[in-house]
Amino acid sequence: MKKVERINVIMRYINNRASFTISEIMREFNISRSTAIRDIREIEAMGMPLVAEVGRDGGYFVMNNSVLPAVRFTDTEIKALFIAFMATRNQQLPYLKSRQSLAEKLLGLISQNQQDDLVLLNQLLLFEGTNPNNPDLLELSDLPHPILEKLIEILLSNSFLLLTLREGNATKSYPIFLLHLYREKSLWLIEGFDLNDEKRRLFSVDNLTAVEPYPANKRLSRKKIQEKLRKEEETFNLVLELGPKAIAQFKKYHPLKVFLSYTDPFQARALLNMHVHADRSEELSEILNWVLFLGGDIKIIELPKEMAEALQRRLVQYGPQA
């Protein structure tokens, strides 16, 4: 255990006890007597009110044993937090007002020298989407869709939702079992299992006008939903293995209903599974163009016969000119 982590754990250990001894700290954390004494002294220096009890069985107790000392950040921790705040500006993230209050509290906790460093960083560092003419950390110019926070609050306690979405000049409601909420290419998207059509669907949060829990008596069981999803996955007829270059191309552009499953911890290789309606010539052509866009860093594991034939015709057509 690192020293900083050990001291934090010791602080919580002794704060929850009426009294303690150096020997107890040594046994509990498997450290030497000198290390235990040194750690206790550092904890006292940080402001924890410890009182030593003299005598053969003496030890320590915490005066007003209830509150830990104020949190203190190192210079590198402050910079890490500040840069994280900077990087999230103009990203249309939820709870933006809470981010603002966190930034205000952070600035209030640090010294004047640390504040000066952050002011300089704010002037020099620009992230994607930053307005260089107004790079204010507390600026609230990137407010997300107003219903996003409500959606998150509901899904934390209920995965069965009734979504109402704007479609043209009308609205339509969809009962869903929520699978994921994610952000891609500046869009917040809801991936859910449509309880009426019994299939996976994607919805744009930008089109969302209302969200509420779906009545319990109208829901499908989670077991049935999982079975339906497994059957849907079994219909995949296009399976590709992507290398690093193809993954980079995928991130530049891909159909909204297509996802990657990374096969190594470094995200250098991934599997792409999807279903292609081979009987729809327009869709077949679009998917083929996109597969070619991914480049040569792919390995075809499974391909619809119709797509393989179309790919062969493309190669024959353009091969001699290449």
pLDDT by residue (tens digit) across 29-82?
889 999 988 888 888 877 777 887 765 556 787 776 555 555 567 788 888 888
pLDDT by residue (tens digit) across 71-93?
567 788 888 888 887 777 666 77
Residue 160 — very low, low, confident or very high, per pLDDT cuts 50/70/90? Answer: very high
The answer on pLDDT for 189 being more than 80 is yes
Domain 148-233 has CATH 2.30.30: yes
Mean pLDDT of 314-320: 70
CA dist., res. 200 & res. 178, Å (int): 10
Q: For position 14, what pLDDT does the model report?
A: 82
Q: Which residue bears the tokens 């966190």? A: 102
CA atoms within 13 A on the CB side of 179: 14
CB atoms within 10 A of CB 39: 19
Q: Which residue bears the tokens 């402050």? A: 78
Residue 176 — very low, low, confident or very high, per pLDDT cuts 50/70/90? Answer: very high
Mean pLDDT of 2-13: 81
DSSP string, 170-193: EEEEEEEEEEEEEEETTEEEEEEE
Give residue 40's identity as a one-letter amino acid code.
Answer: I
Q: For position 322, what pLDDT does the model report?
A: 46
Fold exhibited by the domain 3-62? Arc Repressor Mutant, subunit A (1.10.10)
Q: For position 277, what pLDDT does the model report?
A: 76
Q: How far is CA 284 from CA 95, 134, 237, 250, 279, in A?
A: 41, 47, 12, 18, 8
The answer on pLDDT for 291 being more than 80 is yes
Share above pLDDT 90 across residues of the chain, in percent, rounded to a whole number? 23
DSSP string, 29-85: HT--HHHHHHHHHHHHHTT--EEE--STT--EEETTTT-PPPP---HHHHHHHHHHH
Q: Which of 114, 107, 176 is nearest to 138 (CA)?
A: 107
CB atoms within 10 A of CB 202: 15
Instruction: Name the CA dihedral angle for 44, 49, 55, 57, rounded to a multiple of 10 degrees.
Output: -90
Q: Which residue bears the tokens 């911890």? A: 265
Share above pLDDT 70 across residues of the chain, in percent, rounded to a whole number? 84
Cβ pair 162, 150 in contact under 8 A: no
The answer on pLDDT for 95 being more than 90 is no
- Domain boundaries of the chain, sorted by first residue: 3-62, 73-144, 148-233, 238-318
Say what the pTM is.
0.52
